[in-house]
Amino acid sequence: MSNPELRPGVLSSREALAFARSIIATVREPLVVLDGSFRIEEANRAFYETFEVRREETEGRSIYALGNGQWDIPALRRLLEEILPRDAEFDDFLVEHDFERIGRKAMLLNARRIEQGGGKILLAIEDITGRRRSERQLGESRDRLVEANRFLAETLDALPSHIAVLDESGVILQVNAAWRRFAEENGLRDDAYSIGRNYLDACIPTDAGCIEDEVIGDGIRSVIEGRTPGFSCEYPCHSPTERRWFVMRVNRFGGSGPPRVVVAHDQITERVVAEAGLRESERRLQLAVEIAQMGTFEIDLATDAVTVNEAGREIYGWDGLRTTFSRVRDQFHPEDRDEVMRRVAEALDPAGPGGFEVEQRIVRTDGAVRWIRVRGRAIFEGERGGRRAARCLGTYLDVTDRKDAEVQRERLLSSLAHEKSRLSAIVDRAPAFICTLRGPSHVFELVNDRYLELVGRPGIVGKPVAEALPEVVEQGFVALLDRVYRTRETYTGDEVPVLIRRAEGGGLERRFVNFVYQPMKASDGTVEGIFVHGVDVTDMVRAREAVASSEASLRQLADAMPQIVFAARPDGHVDYFNRKWYEYTGFADNGRTGDESWEAVHEPGSLERIKSVWAEAWRTGQPYEIEYRLRGADGDFRWHLARALPIRDEDGRIVRWYGTNTDIDDHKRAEAAAAAARDEAQAANRMKDEFLATLSHELRTPLNAILGWARILRSGAVDPEDLEEGVAAIERNSTAQAQIIEDLLDVSRIVSGNFKLEVQRVNIQEIIEAALAAVLPAATAKDIRVHRLLDSIAGPVTGDPARLQQVVWNLLSNAVKFTPKGGKVQVLLERVNSHVEISVVDTGMGIRPEFLPHVFDRFRQADSSTTRRHGGLGLGLAIVKQLVELHGGAVRAKSPGEGQGSTFVVMLPITVVHPEHPASGKARPKRAEPAEEVCEGGSLAGVRVLVLDDEPDARQIIRRVLSECEAEVALASSAAEALELVEGFRPDVIVSDIGMPDQDGYDFMRQVREKRNFRDLPAAALTAFARPEDRKQALLAGFQTHVAKPVDPAELVAVVASLAGRTGTPRDSRAQG
């Protein structure tokens, strides 16, 4: 290709090349030009110096192959191979990498892809390792950092080359880490780098090995022997997996000492051969400078014109890329301007250094002050005396962040000094005495006012303890300090006595101190001194001694007291008991006190609660009071009332606890007995109320049927069928009522001792058969099977046949009553030794275990509620027990539980009982009242009345009375049936019983009131529960009136008529039963 025609104002290729190289040489940051295959075409001097790469190592090599592949960095590959193909330029790409030669580097990469240059890449590298290290290590000064880097650079092991140092005979004196790693990685003999071996013997074997050319051996020998000053060559050294090439340099160094030979090996296998020449135009150079991310400038000294790049413009805040040096100088900070201009003038002087470097402040156009680092070099023209500076080229970089970091470090150091001063002030004001002792002689370094007050003398700082306080040496304190310094272990002393001469020429004064000797350790763990801090507790110790003296007198007084007296320390530890304690517990008076003996006499189950209350008292200072039981010497526990109060000093601190234990066992037993008596009386009163309510119900229920039918029969308006039914009902209910009255009279006679038996010889089988005959109809009606198993030779007994029959009949009646339909009742008679046993066994509802012990108690029933299924007063079994015991026998009950049946066993002795003839009498029936007109209370024609009662006789008598007064009556035997009739029959008035099985009248009325109010459907409670509280409960449930059984038919008609509004009386709750 022919050379382009030269035109005015256009540089020739040679001039352009020279200009480009001068620009590259001026740029102080590393710059590399890569071809499309990432091979290095050009690199500046800063690159070779920064990364310690020689120009010949880069020729023809890929950038990844530099340094034996050390530049094969994943982040670099990502920038070149992924980002640049997508974006033509990329700035500030951060890479951190460990290089074998120069260690870890932090770099900002700026890359440009130049399409006009055939896809070449300009890569500018800004080394920010120092700045990042400065940011991480603000605590270290710059001078130390520079010194550390210089020391590191001079250390042989930091060099990436494989280096061995030989003496004048070729013996190895030293090898570096790179040499040793190479030998280990390549399997060289173990002694290949051994100190003291001859280098040629170790590293140049006679057979085929790493070094193949004998010429190399001759060259090394010539240097070792001093025939040549140096020798270098390239040689192959192959491994089993790859082919490698190295360059070896051998140099001999002399001097005042013996000569030394240095052998250095560097791998050059992947060295990229740089192709000389610049093929790019001024545009390429400009792009390369921009990639460097630093300002560049060129000053034409003849015209004062300054040209800058984009980064330089942004640093100063200019609008354009051209300005004048005068303007630049004006933006120098006033405090830095003269020094900068002096340095520039020196560089422009032909006899001067030719370049300059300075850090300075500038004032941007927006007023902001920034720090920059400037490097410049003068370009001279002419020769010798005519030589002058024509231009000045250079770069500048914004270093404000680093400067700010340095300022921050200075601030931290200043803050540290302030904190030290503040800490010293705090130590002086501390209430404890404090001092620091330095070194093994324990020299006073720092003391506060409290310490000086304790020792009573000034001027001790700077003196050893033994010199400043000689009186403490013999007391062992200096020996303690020596031990802490030697062992590095903290020592703590509590209430330690010390004799101190607190006044000049005075005597020794005894003080007590709590103190700590704490070793002060350096960063390497060695002890530098001892930190001493503590409190003068002399006043507290003397106060406690005074208290102890007074305690001796108090203990004599306490021993004379009838109560247990104890004393405890502020932490709650009991350390004293009076004589009463040892007498009560049986412990020997041998000083056994404290928690051990105190806990030993408490009940284990209560101990935690007692300890918790005691701990809370001494922790809060509140008075202690609790009741617990203590075991005496006889092993019995007795109740005690424990009380304790704290004793405080003048500052309010607790110094002692004093307390007493008072025996309150008799009082507690009296309280328990009174509580039991109160509970028993309340239970008896409750039983009485329940019995009276039940008695009222049981008496009034048959009376209701008797009185009702009597009134109907007296009226005369009855047919034969009604007459027969009424008489039967009267007879049936009279019998039931007579039985109730007879049971009450029997109990009364038995309790009063007036009960008499008509004793005679009795065939017990006949008694049982008669009782069975009496209950059999009731059993048949419920389809209950009755089985008898009677021993015919059980033998006769003596007793009252009527009463024995009453016993058996009561047991059988209960069995039939409490056994459901289809059940079974069994009667057994057998002789056991000297008595006979009558057993009544049923499959009925059984007895709950908790009620079984009370089954024979008077007036006790397993179910006494208004919803009970079975009537009665609860006297039957009580009478059975009393009658059997009057016959000299016994009765017992058994039951597996509720729903599992029950068994009653009567045992009667076969003995002779002298008969007694009881008095007898007959009751005279009450003469009937004259007849009265039932329907006088009001006409019930057209009134629909719903009657609810579980007793059939009661239902029928009410129906008969109301029907005769022309009412339309519907009957229901249960609440469920009545609720259906409320909807179907649509009554005008409801008359309901209260005491019914499953669901009583109260629940029934509540359900009615959920649907119908009392104005639409009034209701009367007709019940045998006649107490005032029963009436109140009925009204609250929703009834308008409460009528007690037995009720007069005329009264019943009047109540219904009133509720139905047939008498002119409002429907309210004023009607009384």
In this prediction, residue 155 carries a pLDDT of: 52
Give the pLDDT band of residue 416 (cuts 50, 70, 90).
confident
Encode pLDDT of 819-840 as tens digits. 999 899 999 998 887 789 999 9
**705/222 Cα distance (integer angstroms):** 152
* Per-residue model confidence as pLDDT tens digits over 676-724: 888 777 776 776 666 666 666 666 667 777 777 787 777 777 788 777 7
What mean pLDDT, rounded, does the chain reach? Answer: 79
Domains 160-267 and 757-909 share a fold: no
pTM strictly above 0.85? no
430-536 CATH:
3.30.450.20
% of the chain at pLDDT higher than 70: 79
Closest of 504, 532, 508 to residue 518, by C-alpha: 532
**C-alpha to C-alpha distance for 1025 and 1037, rounded to whole angstroms:** 14
What pLDDT score was predicted for residue 588? 79
405-422: average pLDDT: 79
Summarised one tens digit per residue, pLDDT across range 594-644 is 566 778 888 888 889 988 998 999 888 899 999 999 998 888 999 999 999
Q: What is the pLDDT of residue 481?
A: 95
Helix (H) or strand (E) holding 603: none
Phi, psi for 340 (deg, rounded to 5): -65, -45
pLDDT at 483: 94
- Report the C-alpha gap between 838 and 828 in whole angstroms: 6
Mean pLDDT within 133-145: 58
Q: Is the predicted pLDDT of residue 647 greater than 70, yes or no?
A: yes
757-909: which CATH architecture? 2-Layer Sandwich (3.30)
Dump pLDDT digits (tens) for 216-275: 778 888 888 888 888 888 777 666 666 777 788 888 876 666 788 888 888 777 663 333
Rg (CA), the chain: 62
CATH number of 296-308+328-398: 3.30.450.20
Q: Which residues pair with 1043 in a beta bridge?
A: 1022
Per DSSP, what are the bridge partners of residue 786? 825
Residue 920 has what pLDDT? 37
The highest-level CATH class for domain 934-1060 is alpha beta
Q: How far apart are CA 917 and CA 760, in angstroms?
A: 10
pLDDT tens digits for 1031-1052?
Answer: 888 899 999 998 887 777 888 8
The amino acid that residue 215 corresponds to is V
The per-type count for the chain, helices as H runs and strands as E runs, is: 32, 38
Q: Helix, strand, or coil here: 904?
A: strand
Closest CA to 580 of 637, 662, 635: 662
Instruction: Spell out the domain ranges in the chain.
Output: 160-267, 296-308+328-398, 430-536, 541-663, 757-909, 934-1060
The dotted CATH code for 160-267 is 3.30.450.20
How far is it, in rounded angstroms, from Cα 218 to Cα 195?
22
Which architecture characterizes domain 541-663 according to CATH?
2-Layer Sandwich (3.30)
Among 567, 658, 574, 581, residue whose Cα is nearest residue 589 = 581
Helix axes 952-964, 1049-1060, angle to 10 degrees: 70
